[in-house]
Amino acid sequence: MGRTLAEKVWDAHVVRRAEGEPDLLYIDLHLVHEVTSPQAFDGLRLAGRAVRRPDLTLATEDHNVPTDALVISDPVSRTQVETLRRNCEEFGVRLLPMGDAGQGIVHVIGPQLGVTQPGATIVCGDSHTSTHGAFGALAFGIGTSEVEHVLATQTLPLVRPRTMAVTVEGALQPGVSAKDLVLALIAQVGTGGGQGHVVEYRGEAVRALSMEARMTVCNMSIEWGARAGMIAPDETTYAYLQGRPHAPQGEEWDAAVAHWDSLRTDDDAVFDREVVLDASAVTPFVTWGTNPGQGVALGEAVPDPQALPAGTEREAAERALAYMGLTAGTPMREVAVDTVFLGSCTNGRMEDLRAAADVVRGRRVADGVRAMVVPGSMLVKLQAEQEGLHEVFTDAGFEWRNAGCSMCLGMNPDTLAPGERSASTSNRNFEGRQGRGGRTHLVSPEVAAATAVAGHLAAPADLSDARTLQEA
């Protein structure tokens, strides 16, 4: 019987297999950041162990860093970043620190450097490591004990996950993005829908996605519980990779492509589960609640918890509406926001910035709305500035920042105040995620940009109407 893409990558990395034990899997790339690594390095020191493969390990500073200055004023954050610097020095790990031209969100810099490659096993102490699966890598988040394990052994003992296919048929309509697609998927399958599975996204609509859009989809795999998300490599993947600093060159490129071409799910392979989605039915999508599965189309209203079956689901919806300060039946387009955040490992890349800039060009951020753009990496920032996008944003009233995780997670100065409401291109709308008491609506870059201009949740198509009305 044939094998799936995930199974092929898994099998190629088995160091040791024994009956009744987890497989010992080799890790090709270990990405490290300041938050989930200090206790792991401490563990190495206590046991007198070294980092086995510093040459397969790469660190950066992203979660704690301020995006409006190069000085960390919070002493606790500063200690954590300084601890990473000391650990990287002591253990010989390459670090891209704050202020370096290569610094950025860990899941943005891997692909841009070309160290993220098809068929690789990639881990990081961060759940959004699933992003790298867009290249046909098997990439997943791990905890700090596993970070220590990989540092010490370059392997992980793992039980082989089940496989799932998400086939997206048809084509996305103009104005509908990869973010809308994945938010609609999560609303359909629920936050635990992918639990225990490695998911392969396939089908016509997935093949048509750009590399960056594929990263957006794979990034959100963890938000519906999948262990990892993958997309088979193709010409789009190779075109993105070729010429990047760590991509193979010359004969090695040819050898690599020959291998990558074999990384397709066989026609007779069987997935443990399959989900089918119609891309043409997806419209701009937003969340109303406090988990990423609580979402509706922008054209719909805040749902009524009483319409749900009694029990935990209804209680969760009631609690979410109370936290979010929303009333059932309110059209989503009437929800006014205080803040718009464009950035994160989900939507902080060039195409995201370009799409948003196209919407705000020649327009103004609505009065009373704070809007900020935080590029996913310093290279993204540089490229955007070369294209003049920073001026489009600042002319419209957006703040233009340095790279970092920023307002995605409330670990740095960029946070919401209690009760503040945001439209955010990030990945989690959990209670307090963007700051204590903050209320988050997850949206695409296009919706974020239109919302900044309108002052309430809106799609770009809504703006031309609004403009015509004002002119009339």
Partner 1 sequence: MDAFTTHTGTAVPLRRSDVDTDQIIPSDWLKRVERTGFGAGLFSQWREDPDFVLHRHPGATVLLAGKDFGTGSSREHAVWALQDHGFRAVISPRFADIFRSNALKGGLLPVQLPEDVVERLMAAVEADASTPVTVDLEAREVRSGDVVAPFALDDFTRWRLMEGLDDIGLTLRHEPDIAAYEQRRPAFLPTTR
**Of 68-87, which residues contact partner 1 (CB under 8 A)?**
74, 76-77, 79-80, 83
The sign of the torsion formed by the CA atoms of 178, 179, 180, 182 equals positive
- State in Å, rounded, how far the first CA of the chain is from the last one: 66
Comparing CA positions, the residue from 346, 341, 351, 321 lying closest to residue 415 is 341
Q: Give the nearest distance from C-beta 305 to partner 1 in angstroms.
A: 13
Site for partner 1 in 200-229 (CB under 8 A): 222, 225, 227
Residue 29 lies near partner 1 (rule: CB under 8 A) = yes
Select 88 or 423, whichever has its Cβ closest to partner 1: 88
Residue 255 lies near partner 1 (rule: CB under 8 A) = yes
Q: Give the nearest distance from C-beta 323 to partner 1 in angstroms.
A: 10
> Are the C-beta atoms of 69 and 19 separated by less than 8 Å?
no
Q: Give the nearest distance from C-beta 293 to partner 1 in angstroms.
A: 8
Count the residues of the shown chain that bind partner 1, applying the rule CB under 8 A.
85
Site for partner 1 in 384-423 (CB under 8 A): 409-411
Q: Give the nearest distance from C-beta 78 to partner 1 in angstroms.
A: 9
Select 74 or 358, whichever has its Cβ closest to partner 1: 74
Binding residue (CB under 8 A) for partner 1 from 45, 89, 94, 242 = 94
Tally of CB atoms within 10 A around 440 = 31
Site for partner 1 in 310-369 (CB under 8 A): 312-313, 315-316, 319
Select 81 or 389, whichever has its Cβ closest to partner 1: 81
Select 429 or 451, whichever has its Cβ closest to partner 1: 429
User: In sequence order, what DSSP letters do the residues of 228-297 get, joined into one string?
Assistant: EEE----HHHHHHHTTSTTS--HHHHHHHHHHHTT-S--TT---SEEEEEEGGG---EEE-SSSTT-EEE
Residue reference for tokens 């439209």: 423
Select 57 or 402, whichever has its Cβ closest to partner 1: 57
> Who's near 310: CB < 8 A, 6+ residues apart?
none
Site for partner 1 in 132-191 (CB under 8 A): 140-146, 148-149, 152-155, 157, 159, 161, 191
Binding residue (CB under 8 A) for partner 1 from 171, 436, 461, 467 = 436
> Are the C-beta atoms of 345 and 131 separated by less than 8 Å?
yes
Distances from the Cα of 263 to the Cαs of 52, 199, 233, in angstroms?
Answer: 28, 15, 7
